[in-house]
Copies of this chain bind each other. A is one copy, B any other.
Amino acid sequence: MQVIPPALEKLIDNLSRLPGIGRKTATRLALNILRKPQALAKDLADSLAVLHDSIQLCSCCFSFSDKDPCAICADPRRQADTLCVVEQSGDLLAIEKTDSFRGHYHILHGVISPMDGIGPEEIKIKELQARIQNGTIKEVIIATSSTVPGEVTASYLIDILEHAPIRLTRLACGIPMGMDIKYADRYTLAKAIQSRSLAK
């Protein structure tokens, strides 16, 4: 017996293909959309339909943008000599929110992960090398995550950029702000001890 109408079933199927949304959540979302006025479903459908046509990759930093170059690459007030290399656009947004970086970005669109068949050629590393060869860049901040694939990617970048005439830096690893040290995991705490800095 089919309890869920095919149209609803189809929406549930499609919603549950999104990351972090299982069948239960998808069903809840779909039923919620169904209960709300049709205009909401229509708006959502429209915004999904035009998404890929109106958003493209910036040809310089490879972030998603409706213009090319993107707003950050085109902004003359930002320091073009400092490049922050991140894995994904979400990382760019996180760093922008800190208000503590005024340089440009380079989005790799992935991490090196041999298990998933992703090598250096599959992500925007050649494009990064090309940007550096341009000569305007003085510092490259490797801001990949401190996860295993993030570290692998960082090591690879350090290897290939080691002899480039740039300052190559990494984000600090350590105790998160506001954290009681006895709740820090031992690896983070060990790293924080090794990387301790002069207090004054």
Enumerate chain B residues within 8 angstroms of A99, measured Cβ to Cβ: 190
Binding site for B on A (CB under 8 A): 86-88, 90-91, 93-95, 97-101, 141-148, 150, 154, 158, 162, 167-200
Question: When chains A and B are docked, how far (Å) is the Cα of A140 from the Cα of B106?
Answer: 40
- With A172-B191, A173-B174, A175-B176 in contact, is A94–B200 under 8 Å at CB? no
Q: Dominant SS at the A interface?
A: mixed
Q: Which residues of the other chain, B, contact A196 by a CB distance below 8 angstroms? A: 141, 169-172
Could you tell me if B95 and A179 are in contact, using CB atoms closer than 8 angstroms?
A: no
Evaluate contact between B142 and A181: CB separation under 8 angstroms: no
The interface residues of chain B lying within 8 Å CB-to-CB of A147 are 178-180
Q: Which of B91, B178, B195 contacts A172 (CB 8 A)?
A: B195
Q: How far is the CB of A62 from chain B (nearest CB, A)?
A: 16
Nearest CB in chain B: distance from A19 CB, A:
13
- Given A90-B182, A189-B95, A189-B98, also A175-B197 (CB < 8 A): no
Instruction: State how many angstroms separate the Cβ of A59 from the closest Cβ of chain B.
Output: 24
Q: Tell me which of B88, B190, B199 contacts A142 (CB under 8 A).
A: B199
